[in-house]
A and B are shown apart, each in its own frame.
Chain A
Amino acid sequence: MAETNIVELKGLRAGYGEVQVLWGIDLAVPTGEITALIGSNGAGKTTLMRALSGLIPVQSGSYLSGGVDLSTANAVTILSHGIVHVPEGRRLFGAMSIEDNLLMGAYSRRVSSTELKRDLNRVYTTFPKLFERRYQAAGTLSGGEQQMCAIGRGLMGAPKLLMIDELSLGLSPLLVEQLVAALRTLNAEGMSILLVEQDVITALDLCHSAFVMDMGRIVRSGSGQDLLADPIIGEAYLGVLKS
């Protein structure tokens, strides 16, 4: 039987050296769903992502995926559990070609070249723009194409859970729509997605359930529709005035 939650956190604490950022996060990311993480700047969303992908150590608390404790695991081990992080600001290898960037996404999977080719083709089918420019340096792409390349690179890691930090940052509404459509398709094919997003309306509209973070804690959770209708969320993040 499949696990109901792909990732479960209990009382997770993490930070940078002496600076504590996350003060006990309880969070469950349901398998096969799109989960959104929203909150203002400095709430700790990116730090949570970095802790989940092993870029920074978990100080205390539990981090389970598929019954395995990942709280002391390094980035390579976490990746081997199918948890893939598409970082904020894309972080592409700018001087490398798109195709080499995508191949780097599959670095930790020791698979045959035919399988690699098939996965490359899958990414190119999802994002045909990338195929047209596959030999072009990733640094020369537009913002939207870079985000496609970053997500494509994440997909090459064969994720069970794809964590995307700031999907829409600096992109035009039209591009965001395209990316959102691509994410819906991937989710429909069975991929779980955890999305950190500044654009609260887009995020709540896309997700099945959402968590609201503030000051390093989860302060609210619910379905996307419930949170959209929540007056406190409306006031804090959507600029809706109290009536």
Chain B
Amino acid sequence: MFAAQILINALVLGCLYACIAIGFSLVWGVLNVINLIHGSFIVLGAYLAWSLYQGFHVSPWYALVIAAPLFFVFGYVIQRIVLNRVITAPVLVTLTMTFGLDLILNNAMIYYFKADYRKLTLKPPMGSVSIFDVVVPVDRLVATIAALALTGILYLILRRLRVGRAIVAVRLDRDAAVLMGVDVNAIYAIAFGLGTALAGCAGVLMALIFPISPLTSTAYLGKAFVVCVLGGLGSVSGALAGGVLLALIEGVGSAMFGPAHATTLSFVLLIVFLILRPQGLLGRKGFE
């Protein structure tokens, strides 16, 4: 039963990790930008959910609907105004640029919200369900389902919509996409907007489960990074696989060596993957 509990925990947490990572993966895969603002976007999403709940009693489930368009526009504008200017520069330049933007956003949040840890506590609490001896808190379960739904929506956008096909096409072959009449800068902005929207929504879901503070942004960024390396870049299924694998490693690791070593273990795994299988579980070698 203990093993079953670890497995269920890992599945629940894994879907949330995938949700954290998927926007990061999309931006990295399509724009070839390692987006260091991603963690702060997640925290900002968490603050949005918290503020809406504390200030206006808006349930986090509605906050998702508010966060998605808001963050999309935010990301779209950042890409159009700032990042598109350096998008063709070497990866170090774009990395530095997102690092700078992250400093601005993160410090603005510290200034505005203070560095105190806050918690969004639903009243009344949603309780938990237990099947046999496996216990799952309901808020986590619903957050997981929402995370899966967001992941599914991104998958459908990329697969079924005209703009999604263009995003994939730009990722696969930028020049050929130009020949098809794709406005690459607009597609970059849309992809970055989608990545930001996913980060914001992930933040709303995180607010239900984890304490909120600007200082947690690097933890989210680290998770996103590890999930991308484990699962492989730029595919939705890769992010899911990477998320569940990371959660599983952390779960089993904490059970065997104590929770203090879970993160150590996941980053050791990151290094092992980078050495042995740099394209990740489901990533394809040699396609940008």
Contact = CB atoms under 8 A, between A and B. Distances in A.
A107 B172 contact: no
Contacts of B172: 93-96
A9 interface: no
B165 A75 contact: no
B183 interface: yes
Interface in A72-112: 75-76, 79-80, 85, 87, 91-96, 100, 103-105, 107-108
B173 A104 contact: no
Contacts of A92: 173, 176
A119 to B, nearest CB: 14
A104 B169 CA distance: 8
A232 interface: no
A17 to B, nearest CB: 13
B287 interface: yes
A104 B167 CA distance: 11
A89 B116 CA distance: 57
Chain B interface size, as a band, is 10 to 19
A108 B173 CA distance: 16
Contacts of A75: 178-179, 181
Interface in B160-174: 162, 165-166, 168-169, 172-173
A53 B172 CA distance: 20
B249 interface: no
A152 interface: no
A39 interface: no
A91 B176 CA distance: 6
Given A100-B165, A104-B165, A91 B179 contact: yes
A85 B179 contact: yes
Contact of A55 (B162, B179, B284): B179
Contacts of B165: 96, 100, 103-104, 107
14 contacts: A76-B183, A91-B173, A91-B179, A96-B168, A96-B172, A100-B168, A104-B165, A104-B169, A104-B177, A107-B162, A107-B169, A107-B182, A108-B180, A108-B182
Interface of B: 162, 165-166, 168-169, 172-173, 175-183, 284, 287
